[in-house]
Each structure stands twice: as C-alpha cells, then as structure tokens.
Copies of this chain bind each other. A is one copy, B any other.
C-alpha cells in the first residue's frame, strides 16, 4: 500500500484489535481473509501464529486467554472454518475465556449466489458466542472490532465473534476505532452476602463451591479465610478453567466427576454457597441417577454467578464474617520421583509431583487418569491447572499451545489421553514451529477407556463385540513417537516409571517442545 492510499477495512480492524490490547492471532486463513493476512505486516504488535487446523487455533486462543486475561484473536475461513473451530470455542465459551473470532465471509454481493463455501455462519457461531456481529462494510468494521474486544473482556469474559465480509476487508476504511471500555463484572448485592454469612455462621455443615475467576489465588485465599473462620469446606468445580494450586496456595477439594462420588461429596450439607459458577450438575444423565448433585435438603445459594464479581464477593464475605488471615500451606520438600515399577496414573502423578518445574502450567486432558494425577500433585510446587471446561474432547494440545505462547517464561505440561490427542494432533506442528516450551505426555492405554466405563454406567450393558470394538483404538496401535517426529517434535516412548522420569527430565531441561508416549496398563 502506498502512503497516500486509504487504509483497508482489514487493516483498520487489525489496528483496532491491537489498540484494544490484542497481541496474538491464531490463524488458519483462506482466500476471504487475505486482506487481514496482508495487514499483519502493517500491525506488527499482533503476533500471527499459524495452525494447520482451526480447532488448534480456537483451543490455542482459549489457552492464551485463560493465562493472560486478554483476548487473542482467531482468524477463520467462513462457516466450515468456524465449524472446525467450534468444539474448542464451545470449551472457551463454557470457560468464559476472553476470545475474539474473526471469521471471513464472502463479499456482500457474492454471499447470496450459492457459491460452494456460502453458508449460514451466524447459525454455527451463535451457540458458542457470548457476542456475535457481522460488519456491514469497511467503514463500520473497526467499530465492530472495538465492540468485540470489549465484549470479550466484559462481565467475566466471553467469546466474541465478528464476521467480516471480504469486501469489508478490502474496501477503504475510515481508520481504526478507539477502544471501548469493557463492562465490569456485576457487583453482588449486600442481601446475597448477608444471606451467605447467615448460612456459614449457622453452625450447620456448610461448603463453598468455587468456579470461574474464584479458582485463582485471590479467590482461594478469600475462601480459605472464610473456611478458617466458619469451618466450611471448600470445593472447586470438577473442570475449572484455571486452578492455581500447589505449594503456598490454599487447597480446595475437587468436586468428583462421577455422579455417585459427587453426590457423596456434597451429602449432608445444610448449606452450599456457590461462587463464580452455577449450582452443581452432573456431567451426563444416567438412568435413575440425579442430575442435580446437591441433596434436596441442602440450601444451595448462588452467591455470584460467572458474570458477577465472585472474587470481590468472597472477599466481602470474609470481611463480613470477621475472618482473619488464612493459614498458608508451607512448601514441603520435593518428593523423590519413582525409581521403579509399572507405569500407571499414580506413577505418572508421582513423577510429575517430583519433577514439575516451578510455575508450570499443567493442561489436563488425561481423562480417566486425571483424578489420581491431580491428587498426587496437590502439594507440588505452585502451578496452574487448566481443564476440559466444556467436555469437548481435543482441547488439551491446543490449550497447551496457546498457554505456551502466552507465557514464554513458563513450562507447560500437557497431560493427554491417546484417544483425546488425536482430535487436534496437528497442534504439535505449531509447537515445533514456534519452539514452544510444551512437554506433552500421551497416556497411551489404546482405548477410549472413559467410554468403556460409561457403557455400563448408562445401563447399556458390557457391550458385545461390535460395541467393544468402537471403544478400542489399539487396532492398529497409534505410534505417537512417529506422529510427533512427523510434525517436528522430538519424542520418545516410556514403558515404565523410570523411563518416564528420564524422559521428563530431558524434556524439561532441553528447550522447545517434546512428547513422551507413556504406555500405561
């Protein structure tokens, strides 16, 4: 573009995103996004990160947003590109991760003509977008971009999707738009605080359930103060978006995944005060089992939902209760890594607890192995734990990728089931391309073990040969060492606990991404 040419709509959008705080764009572009791609050279403050599949882009933007609190952009190609991104946008939507999707569409006059890629983009976007708009033209696109960033940062955060017709990208704009101030999380009314205080002072069994923003240090500290003052238990959502834990961070009990164990964990409570999330619900329904996890006899109070200032509410509640400082768990000595034995979830947990780098980010899509590893690492060096918020499998490797882009000075440990890994395995290539500090541990049990388990739990029996064959992925075995090397990531296989320990030591010591295929029984 010559100096005297007007700025394109695409450049005005990108400059607006940058001025509004966006610093990364996870992209898998196509022809309708070419002007956005070209504008990247003129807006160098936005870092482009190429992915080979849109589900990697959306998951990486989720991981990035969870770690920074600032939205990354995705760059997606019409309805099918958005469709490929959908599963991980669903996870981000449930996590309320700040995230801005830029979806290119056909030029306005081309869209109604039935070209091959034409489709109803809004319909696909709506179920995973807190905010959704279509730029009318190049002059209004920048204003929509500013509104999108503000929406993504408003009221607890969320997914904002802006559809940009190709000609709104290539026509002349009126320049970038000024940033829009986000809406703060809504304050919690005094009546709700007083009601929660009465419940917690009542002397009857009570618990606090944490989710959303409250599973970070400030929320955990406030909850620990309340617990110390009242005797209430502190639990957290089964799948928190970002849980701070380990040495120096007040602990909280995870609400178990299994309906039976979750109802047991909540049994006998007179009061359950919920902060940053909703009243607890089972992941799936099962014949004859409850969907609502708290007992009918429990008084469930949602002190603050995910769009409200739940951390502020907990801090105010602690003051109202006259709570003092909470005891901070001291860091113990690092445990020794396992020196022998078979490779199972407990051994992996012990190895991680022993070797986890300081301030590591753990991304957990370990599925059936997750609970033992979580338990084993409760007192490990302080770390963040990111989980599968929306249940849409294929989140782990992309979220790890985005978290590593967000935090280049921290190690990311990606704990991943073998079946789950294959949904978005293309992530490894972006990790290699960007030299990201990600260590992926594939828990290779050669099956969809969770489904094997769920088959009988749903009352569908133990399965005949055809059914069981749909739950086994060991015919043929996947060779994750070959897959990783095929995408430029150094990899090795571990068949026992010492081999895993050696592989983790190597991976944490060498720069760049690594993968370990942990063959578990």
Q: Is B170's CB under 8 angstroms from A458's CB?
A: yes
Among B119, B284, B459, B467, point to the contact of A127 (Cβ < 8 A). B119
Establish whether residues A460 and B80, one from each chain, have CB atoms under 8 Å apart when the complex forms: no
> Which residue on chain B has the smallest CB distance to residue A128?
B119
A331 within 8 A of B: no
Question: When each residue 201-226 of chain A gets 1 if its CB lies under 8 Å from chain B and 0 otherwise, what string results?
Answer: 00000000000000000000000000
A465 to B37, CA, bound (A): 11
Q: In the docked arrangement, what's the CA distance between A117 and B284, Å?
A: 8
Residues in B neighbouring A31, C-beta threshold 8 A: 283-284, 450-451, 454, 457-458
Contact B423 A425 (CB under 8 A): no
A191-199, A344-352, A353-361, A470-478 - interface stretch: A470-478
In the complex, are the beta carbons of B52 and A423 less than 8 A apart? yes
For window 111-151 of chain A, which residues contact chain B by CB distance below 8 Å?
113-117, 119-121, 123-124, 126-128
Partner of A117, one of B29, B35, B114, B283: B283
Query: Could you mark each residue 277-302 of chain A with 1 if its beta carbon is under 8 Å from any beta carbon of chain B, else 0?
Result: 01001111101000110000000000
A230 proximity list for chain B (CB < 8 A) = none
User: Is there an interface contact between A478 and B486, defined as CB atoms closer than 8 Å?
Assistant: yes
A174 CB-CB contact with B under 8 Å: no
Residue contact B87 to A433, C-beta cutoff 8 Å: no
CB pair A123 B116 closer than 8 Å: no
> Any chain B CB within 8 A of the CB of A55?
yes
Chain B proximity mask over A134-173: 1 for CB below 8 Å, otherwise 0:
0000000000000000000000000000000011001000
Residues on B with C-beta less than 8 A from A483 are 482-483, 486-487
Inter-subunit contact B87/A80 (CB<8 Å)? yes
Complex CA distance for A31 and B79, rounded to whole angstroms = 27
Q: How far is the CA of A127 from the CA of B80 in the complex (A)?
A: 10
Q: Is the CB of A79 within 8 A of B127?
A: yes
Determine which residue in A80, A117, A471 has the highest number of CB atoms from chain B within 10 A of its CB, and name it: A80
Instruction: With a 10 A CB-CB cut-off, give which of A41, A87, A106, A433 has the most chain B CB atoms.
Output: A87
| Contact A110-B291, Cβ < 8 Å, known A41-B467, A423-B52 | yes
In the complex, A341 has a CB within 8 A of chain B: no
Report the stretch among A267-275, A390-398, A502-510 that lies at the interface: A390-398
Q: Which 7 A-B pairs have the closest CB atoms?
A: A83-B86, A41-B464, A476-B488, A80-B392, A482-B486, A110-B285, A107-B285
* A to B CB contacts below 8 Å, 13 in the list: A37-B455, A37-B467, A38-B467, A53-B422, A80-B91, A80-B393, A83-B87, A83-B392, A84-B87, A94-B116, A123-B124, A433-B476, A476-B487
